[in-house]
Structure 1
Amino acid sequence: MSTTTTTPISAEPAHRDRTSASPAPRGAMHTLGILLRQRLRRDRWQLVIWLLSIALLALFSAESIQTTYGNAAGRVELLKLAIANPAILMLRGLPQGTGLGAVTFFEIFTFLALLAGLMSTFLAVRHSRAEEESGRAELVASTPAARILPTVATLIHGVLANAALAVLVGLGFIAAGLPAYGSFVAGAAVGGAGIAFLAVGLLLAQLMMTPRGANGFASAVVVLAYVLRGIGDATGTITGDGTHMRSAWPSWLSPIGWGEQSGAYTTNDWTPLLLDLGLAVVLMAVVFWLQSVRDSGAGFVPERAGRADARSTLSGPLGLAWRLQWPTILGWTVGGLFTGLLAGALGSVVSSSVANDPALANIRKALGTIGSGGSGPLTQIFISAIFSIVGVLAAACATQVIIRLRQEEAGGSAEIMMSTPLSRVRWLLEFLLDGVIAVVLVLLAAGLASGLSAVSAGEGASIINDSFAAAAAQLPVAFVYLGMLALVFVVLPTWTIPVAWAALGLGAFIGIFGGLVGMPQWVKDLSPFSHAPVVVGTVDWTGGFWMFGIAIVATAAAAVLVKRRDFAIG
């Protein structure tokens, strides 16, 4: 079998002079081209969704900023508010003037770079450590591709993806009416950060034993880079007319911070972006060295030894589902906690800063268009708006539960479990119960953190109830994703992962930013996030009850249909 497979690739006359340089490069380039095409084909949907989502976010963010802060006076007040409150700088970026392009770069660049980092690290791990765990990397290594060419192909694939992202982000900004040269500098800053994090992902794939560990560690590095950049911006110094800042040294420890230093639309300095490429080159040299000295499937960070005997909680699918997913659930819960902290603290800050300032009336208007809207005290409006983002975290946690279901089935583990007295319905429903618990944990952490941080900032104790109400309003949204994606998993198993991420990304964008960019109401109604209960002012749970009903019906349908289909392995 193996002889038949490898002969066409490596067949060369045995007597060919081994010193001849031309045949080897041609063979290597041919093999590299095959590997690169395989990666492009495998990622064709995931990559397109990532690229278009980030580019559209750039486009619509620029348009919304132009609509909300179209006059120079409004932008001056916005930057002064940000500079006076370090917490806002932690979230946003480095003020570089009141020009429309500069304010857009300040508002959205760090989030775009964060998304580019996650896209790149996931791509790196998917084509390296995940391939080793599945056994496919060892099969590929037995061909003339050996062990190095697949990594080279992954590197080229990731660089091309980030180059495409840089162009698309630049075009998105240009389409919004921003200057072309500054737009491409901004796009290059996003793509440069992505390339740096691509190398980080490939390095961690060499060090960690599992793709789950590599993805978790890589995501933590991306978030750490975002936080370091935030600390550097928040502790920076004000320069010029009070609307410019120079970041402190922690920003220079982060690829995201390097992108900020390009000063898109102002200085347009390409030099800091060389740091992204330099880091990538150094890390890739380490990656190739590590790959040359370690065994396939091995890692440099050993996994913790397991117990000799399993706990009683692993006797059923619920305990197993929790054991498989608790690190991921913990990550989303921590994300909800930090978002809640920022919501509570910033809500009080924004309220005290703008409540009586007519020049900043646009901020109240902008907050009212995020998520479900509503009218009432500004702190409540702000917390409700930020909890739309917490809802995205909870829905993402639910989405990953369904994705794990699909991975268990595709890897053959589910079929082995079904050889026991365990029924398919119980297996499915207990995984979904794990998802319900995960969603509740994310929202509880966010609600508690928001309430306590708001009280510590000077708000009344009643704000704790408001925070928990805002968290509860996101429950039906997350449950809709859990139930509907469970139905997709049962009916279209091989499409589960791309449909899940596409539904989450589009739903979040339409629901949160649809009002900002002026989408028609019928488009906004397609997103579950648009129907989250309004808990500011007059409470309306009509949309929430409808979503609970849809989630229950979809879950019941999935439970009935799962008994009637075969396992979709691979």
Structure 2
Amino acid sequence: MNTQLAGTGALLRLALRRDRVMAPVWILGVAMLVLSLPGSLESVYGTAAERERLLATMTANGSLRALYGPVFGDSIGALTAWRGGVFAGLLAGVMSLVIVVRHTREEEESGRQELLSAAMVGRRAPLTAALLAALTANAAAALLVTAGLAGRGAAGALALGLGIGATGMLFAALAAIAAQLTESARLAKGLTGAFIGAAFVLRAAGDAGAPDGGSALTWISPLGWLEHVRAFAAERWWVLALFAAASAAQLVAAYALAARRDVGMSFLPARPGPARGRLGSAGALAWRLQRGALLGWSLGFLAVGVVFGGMTDGATELVGDNARTREIIERMGGQAGQAGQGVLADAFLATMAGMLAMVAALYIVSAVLRLSAEESGQRAEPLLANAVGRLRWAGGHLAVAFGGSALILLLAGLGLGIGHGEDIGGAVAATLGQLPAVWVIGALAALLYGAVPRFAVAAWAVAGAALALGWVGPALNLPQAVLDLSPFAHLPKLPGGQDPSWAPFVALTALAAALLAAALTALRRRDLAA
């Protein structure tokens, strides 16, 4: 047996056990993003004439191509690959980076890897186990996509499933390199996430300028390779070889870097701090720890807001007189059922504002759960042993989380208004109007952490369920009672033609405040790391 790989099996079993909740949620999220589409697309574009019109509109609309990519076929399977393929690949990439960094750099940062390495564990075993865990997750997602779409065409379903899984593994290999280069898990995730974002931007820029997706920028991006697999549209199997070659090259580099460093060390060490500390409060420390993530989210929301705002006119043209699409947008955004392109544009902006707010819920959960990371990493206890109370310590992180969510929604609204070129104030009001629902989810995350810290990770499931209900629920025509399980369903959709009632805003804000009070009370009464 190769001693460099000794213990790989045991570490893989440990990784799968640790991921037994997180990984299935990610896998189902990737798969359902794709499998929820065929039924809704068939109801919207059920006839050949409607699908031909869609292809013609997409060919002429650069802003929509930038978001979804070009359409290569008019079958329901091809439309599914067009509508969900790139986003499923993006989600698979994020899933892979989380898994790989969690079982490599996070283990080293916490000190657990050093303890494990003192046993019969080979030098390459931890990295190999992490990559195998990512491979297992991506293979499961690919299998679900393939099986779920097989009825639309076995070859196309296999091509799309393999493409999504291959995209996830390419970014897993990239995360493996980042884990060797950086000293912290947070920086490794940020570096890999930046590359994923750059891949999306390159693909979007290329597709916006080339109706057939043949731009050089598209071919530079792995997400561009995914769309050029052309599932359900004369599949290009050879494109999968690009994923294999790029992944293999990155894996060789990751293993070479891992062989040349000690456990806990990195090739890009952290910059030394000043000789004298400059942080005078727990709130200042929380800001210092979270400002990088907040900056990234802020820039991302501003950019996405501009893109979505610029899509508004193209989206209203795409909807046209399609009654089913108008109905979906009406359920998500409010006023589409009325006459007039201006009203339809308002409904589209309201829909985009709601979607951005649901994604902002992911930010607030990650910011709140930084408390859990500080506690489990044993960095909170030395701090609290000094003249810092628990409420002051937690309050600093919660202030950043709740204030940061308001900031990113403000910037998203500015982006929507700038991109659309009309009524910036109305766009800002639309995004900030969703803030009470975001705060409710953040307060739930705080309550889970304060009361039952072992299950704090369940806050991700709450945010994910709200996102799924808001994104997929209207398209699946779910009953309103099911949609009402999300706090976002109770807020008025802005901009709209009528003055909204203040009651839902006040009620949800009061609920968030009550949950926060309960969370801080529970945190004050329990033992740390208990």
CA contact (8 A) 2:69 2:213 kept: no
RMSD: 1.9
In structure 2, the partner of 1:395 is 361
CA contact (8 A) 1:373 1:385 kept: no
Q: Secondary structure at the match of 2:174?
A: helix
* Structure 1 position 41 matched with structure 2 position 2: no
- CA–CA distance in 1 between the matches of 2:309 and 2:226? 29
CA contact (8 A) 1:203 1:286 kept: yes
Give the letter for the 2:483 counterpart. Answer: K
* Structure 1 position 368 matched with structure 2 position 342: no
2:430 aligned to 467, 470, 478, which one? 470
Residues 331, 375 of structure 1: alpha-carbon distance in 2 compared, 3 angstrom cutoff: farther
Give the letter for the 1:118 counterpart. Answer: V
- CA–CA distance in 1 between the matches of 2:35 and 2:454? 32
CA contact (8 A) 1:195 1:280 kept: yes
CA contact (8 A) 2:443 2:513 kept: yes
Q: Secondary structure at the match of 1:369?
A: helix
- CA–CA distance in 2 between the matches of 1:246 and 1:409? 48
- CA–CA distance in 2 between the matches of 1:519 and 1:465? 32
The more displaced of 69-78 and 395-404 is: 69-78
* Structure 1 position 146 matched with structure 2 position 122: yes
* Structure 1 position 274 matched with structure 2 position 241: yes
1:285 aligned to 252, 257, 267, which one? 252
TM-score, with structure 1 as normaliser: 0.88
CA contact (8 A) 1:367 1:385 kept: yes
CA contact (8 A) 1:124 1:198 kept: yes
Residues 30, 202 of structure 1: alpha-carbon distance in 2 compared, 3 angstrom cutoff: closer
CA contact (8 A) 1:185 1:264 kept: yes
In structure 1, the partner of 2:80 is 104
- CA–CA distance in 1 between the matches of 2:70 and 2:505? 38
1:558 aligned to 519, 525, 529, which one? 519
Q: How many residues end up aligned between the 2 structures?
A: 524
Q: Secondary structure at the match of 2:527?
A: coil
1:30: how far off? Answer: 6.8
In structure 1, the partner of 2:66 is 90
The correspondence of residues 43-442 of structure 1 with structure 2, limited to 5 A, is 43-174=19-150, 177-237=151-211, 245-311=212-278, 314-351=279-316, 353=317, 357-358=320-321, 360-370=322-332, 377-442=343-408
TM-score, with structure 2 as normaliser: 0.94
The correspondence of residues 471-510 of structure 1 with structure 2, limited to 5 A, is 471-497=431-457, 499-510=458-469
Q: Secondary structure at the match of 1:315?
A: coil
1:434: how far off? Answer: 1.3
CA contact (8 A) 2:182 2:269 kept: yes
In structure 1, the partner of 2:475 is 516
| Unpaired runs of at least 5, structure 1 | 1-23, 238-244
- CA–CA distance in 1 between the matches of 2:314 and 2:143? 37
1:404: how far off? Answer: 0.2
Q: Secondary structure at the match of 2:456?
A: helix
In structure 2, the partner of 1:10 is none
The correspondence of residues 445-460 of structure 1 with structure 2, limited to 5 A, is 445-455=411-421, 459=422
CA contact (8 A) 2:202 2:221 kept: yes
| Unpaired runs of at least 5, structure 2 | none
Deviation per residue, 1:202-229 (Å, 9 max, x gap) = 0111111111111001011111111212
In structure 2, the partner of 1:547 is 508
CA contact (8 A) 2:6 2:122 kept: no
1:527 aligned to 461, 486, 491, which one? 486
CA contact (8 A) 1:369 1:515 kept: yes
1:362: how far off? Answer: 4.2
- CA–CA distance in 2 between the matches of 1:266 and 1:345? 29
The more displaced of 373-382 and 530-539 is: 373-382
- CA–CA distance in 2 between the matches of 1:122 and 1:325? 18
- CA–CA distance in 2 between the matches of 1:209 and 1:256? 28
- CA–CA distance in 2 between the matches of 1:261 and 1:487? 45
CA contact (8 A) 1:255 1:276 kept: yes
1:57: how far off? Answer: 1.8
Give the letter for the 1:257 counterpart. Answer: G
The more displaced of 54-63 and 159-168 is: 54-63
Q: Secondary structure at the match of 1:370?
A: helix
- CA–CA distance in 2 between the matches of 1:108 and 1:209? 35
- CA–CA distance in 1 between the matches of 2:403 and 2:208? 36
CA contact (8 A) 2:173 2:251 kept: yes
1:121: how far off? Answer: 1.0
- CA–CA distance in 1 between the matches of 2:57 and 2:142? 30
- CA–CA distance in 2 between the matches of 1:225 and 1:430? 34
In structure 2, the partner of 1:20 is none
Residues 70, 33 of structure 1: alpha-carbon distance in 2 compared, 3 angstrom cutoff: same
